Amino acid sequence: MIRFFRRFRRKSPIFPPPPTPNPRDYASNAALLWLEEEIDALRSPIFDSYAYARSLQGCIANGDRMRGGGVHCHALKRGGCLDLFCWNILLNMYVKFGVLVGACNVFDEMPERNMVSFVTLIQGLADLGEFDEAVELFRRLHSEGHELNKFVFTTALKLFVIMDSPELGRHVHAGVYKLGHEKNAFVGSSLIETYSLCGLVNEARRVFDEIIYKDIVAWTGMVSCYAENDWAESALRLFSKMRKARLNPNNFTLTSVLKASVSLWSLKLGKSIHGCSIKCHYETDPYVGGALLDMYAKCGDVEDARLVFDIIPHNDVILWSFMIARYAQSNQNEEALELFLRMMRSSVVPNEFSLSSVLQACANVVSLKLGVQVHSHVVKIGYDSEIFVANALIDVYAKCGEMEASLEIFSQLPHINEVSWNTVIVGYVQLGLGEDALKVFNQMRNAEVEGTQVTYSSTLRACASIATIEQASQLHALIAKTPFNDDTVVSNSLIDTYAKSGSIADARKVFDVVKERDVISWNAMISGYAIHGLASDALSLFDEMCKTRIKANDVTFVGVLSVCSNIGLVQRGLSFFNSMKSVHGIEPCMEHYTCMVRLLGRSGRLNDAMKFIEEIPSEPTPMVWRALLSACLVHKNVEIGKLCAEKVLEIEPQDETTYVLLSNMYATAGIWDEVALVRKSMRSKGVKKEPGLSWIEILGEVHCFSVGDESHPDMRSIKAMLEWLNIRINRAGYVPDSSVVLHDVGEDQKTRLLWVHSERLALAFGLIRIPHGYPIRIMKNLRFCLDCHAAFKMVSKVVKRDIVVRDINRFHHFAGGNCSCGDYW
Ligand SMILES: [Zn+2]
Ligand SMILES: [Zn+2]
Instruction: Kindly identify the ligand whose nearest atom is closest to the C-alpha of 780.
Output: 1
Long-range contacts of 304-309 (CB under 8 A, 24+ apart): 306/335, 308/274
How much is the pLDDT for 18? 33
Residues recorded for the chain: 825
Instruction: Kindly identify the ligand whose nearest atom is closest to the C-alpha of 757.
Output: 1
For residue 738, the CA-to-ligand 1 centroid distance in Å is: 9
Residue 145, class by beta-carbon neighbours within 10 Å (0-12 exposed, 13-18 middle, 19+ buried)?
exposed
Instruction: Kindly identify the ligand whose nearest atom is closest to the C-alpha of 786.
Output: 1
Grouping H, G, I as helix, E, B as strand and the rest as coil, residue 779 is: strand
For residue 533, the CA-to-ligand 2 centroid distance in Å is: 9
Paired sense of beta strands 693-698 and 701-706, if any: antiparallel
How much is the pLDDT for 394? 94
How much is the pLDDT for 404? 92
How much is the pLDDT for 9? 31
Rounded Cα gap, residues 762 and 718, in angstroms: 9
Instruction: Kindly identify the ligand whose nearest atom is closest to the C-alpha of 533.
Output: 2
Is the Cβ–Cβ distance between 824 and 782 less than 8 Å? no
Instruction: Kindly identify the ligand whose nearest atom is closest to the C-alpha of 660.
Output: 1
For residue 18, the CA-to-ligand 2 centroid distance in Å is: 83
Instruction: Kindly identify the ligand whose nearest atom is closest to the C-alpha of 822.
Output: 2
Instruction: Kindly identify the ligand whose nearest atom is closest to the C-alpha of 738.
Output: 1
For residue 695, the CA-to-ligand 2 centroid distance in Å is: 17
For residue 685, the CA-to-ligand 2 centroid distance in Å is: 31
How much is the pLDDT for 37? 62
For residue 758, the CA-to-ligand 1 centroid distance in Å is: 7
For residue 726, the CA-to-ligand 1 centroid distance in Å is: 13
Instruction: Kindly identify the ligand whose nearest atom is closest to the C-alpha of 751.
Output: 1
List, in order, residues 6 or more apart from 655 with CB less than 8 Å away: 622, 626, 648, 649, 687
**How does DSSP classify residue 619?**
P
For residue 805, the CA-to-ligand 2 centroid distance in Å is: 8
For residue 757, the CA-to-ligand 1 centroid distance in Å is: 5
For residue 754, the CA-to-ligand 1 centroid distance in Å is: 6
For residue 786, the CA-to-ligand 1 centroid distance in Å is: 6
Partners of 718 in the beta sheet?
none
Spell out, as residue ranges, where the chain has pLDDT lower than 70: 1-47, 166, 739-746
Rounded Cα gap, residues 209 and 203, in angstroms: 10
For residue 737, the CA-to-ligand 1 centroid distance in Å is: 9
Grouping H, G, I as helix, E, B as strand and the rest as coil, residue 43 is: coil
For residue 772, the CA-to-ligand 2 centroid distance in Å is: 22
pLDDT 10s digits, 280-325: 888 788 888 888 888 888 887 788 888 888 887 777 888 888 889 9
Backbone angles phi, psi at 813, to 5 degrees: -100, 110
For residue 621, the CA-to-ligand 1 centroid distance in Å is: 27
Rounded Cα gap, residues 660 and 630, in angstroms: 11
**How does DSSP classify residue 194?**
H
Long-range contacts of 792-800 (CB under 8 A, 24+ apart): 792/759, 792/763, 792/819, 793/817, 793/818, 793/819, 794/729, 794/732, 794/733, 794/734, 795/725, 795/729, 795/763, 797/732, 798/725, 798/728, 798/729, 798/732, 799/725, 799/728, 799/767
For residue 759, the CA-to-ligand 2 centroid distance in Å is: 13
Task: Supply the pTM of this predicted model.
Answer: 0.68
* DSSP H/E element including 721: helix 715-731
3-state SS, one letter per residue, for 345-384: HCCCCCCHHHHHHHHHHHHHCCCHHHHHHHHHHHHHCCCC
For residue 810, the CA-to-ligand 2 centroid distance in Å is: 9
For residue 345, the CA-to-ligand 2 centroid distance in Å is: 61
For residue 785, the CA-to-ligand 2 centroid distance in Å is: 10
User: Which residue type occupies 814?
Assistant: F
Question: What domains can you pick out in the chain, each with its CATH number?
Answer: 416-505 (1.25.40), 517-588 (no CATH), 595-689 (1.25.40), 694-819 (no CATH)
For residue 245, the CA-to-ligand 1 centroid distance in Å is: 84
How much is the pLDDT for 389? 92
Paired sense of beta strands 803-806 and 776-780, if any: parallel
How much is the pLDDT for 464? 87
List, in order, residues 6 or more apart from 205 with CB less than 8 Å away: 222, 225
Instruction: Encode burial over 624-658: b for 16+ CB neighbours within 10 A, e otherwise.
Output: bbbbbbbbbbbbebbebbbebbebbbeeeeebbbb
For residue 794, the CA-to-ligand 2 centroid distance in Å is: 12
Is the Cβ–Cβ distance between 94 and 102 less than 8 Å? yes
Instruction: Kindly identify the ligand whose nearest atom is closest to the C-alpha of 817.
Output: 2
Q: How many Cα atoms within 13 Å fall on the side-chain side of residue 413?
A: 21
For residue 657, the CA-to-ligand 1 centroid distance in Å is: 13
For residue 672, the CA-to-ligand 2 centroid distance in Å is: 27
Is the Cβ–Cβ distance between 679 and 663 less than 8 Å? yes
Taking the C-alpha atoms of 262, 268, 269 and 271 in order, what is their torsion angle to the nearest 10 degrees?
90
For residue 434, the CA-to-ligand 1 centroid distance in Å is: 25
